[in-house]
Structure 1
Amino acid sequence: MNQLVRMSHIVTADAVEEPSPSLRVPFAQSGAFVCKFIIGEPNDRAVCCGAPVQDGKSWCAFHRRIVFEPTRPGRLR
């Protein structure tokens, strides 16, 4: 069954600024409270975002929006 979803019901997410490249750290040296999103190719010299994270998450707010697809109103499962 198709559902009609009005564009006004689709809420656009607030803009989140990309973290500074100066925060990037080698993945092997990243701590517990930094974003683990890998920048570039995942290899033995991988570099992760390094931005601070909240609530013990693995990614900062900017990269979380890339990793997870937001839910859309009116979508049946």
Structure 2
Amino acid sequence: MNQLVRMSQVGEAESIKEPSPEFRVPFAQSGAFVCKYIIGEPSDQAICCGAPVSDGKSWCAFHRRIVFEPARPGRIR
């Protein structure tokens, strides 16, 4: 799924702080409404961010800004 980020949101992304390491949880034990961003190398014992997400997305706001490139005006997809 491709997500668009408005240019007005780019400045906001810079102010988002990294979630606390205390949220981290083994991927296999992560439930619904937590960030599934894998910390470190993916493996059968992968650890994910685990920060709460309330918007139904797979990643928290901090990790979404890493995963998705902001949309640029005039860019053809």
Which bin holds the TM-score, normalised by the shorter protein?
0.7 to 0.9
Give the root-mean-square deviation of aligned CA atoms.
1.4
Match in the other structure for 1:66: 66
Structure ranking higher on relative contact order (CA contacts 8 Å, 6+ apart): 2
What is the number of equivalent residue pairs in this alignment?
A: 68
- 1:73 is displaced (CA, Å) by 2.1
Match in the other structure for 1:27: 27
Distance 1:69 1:33 in 2: 23
Distance 1:64 1:50 in 2: 13
Answer yes or no: is 1:13 the counterpart of 2:32.
no
- The DSSP-based 3-state class of the residue aligned with 1:28 is helix
Match in the other structure for 2:50: 50
Give the unaligned 5+ runs of structure 2: 1-6
TM-score normalized with structure 1 length:
0.79
Task: String of CA shifts for 1:1-57, please: whole Å, max 9, x gaps.
Answer: xxxxxxxxx654211000000110000000101000000010011000000112210
TM-score normalized with structure 2 length:
0.79
Q: Looking at CA atoms only, which structure, 1 or 2, has the larger radius of gyration?
A: 1
Segments of 4+ moved more than 4 angstroms = none
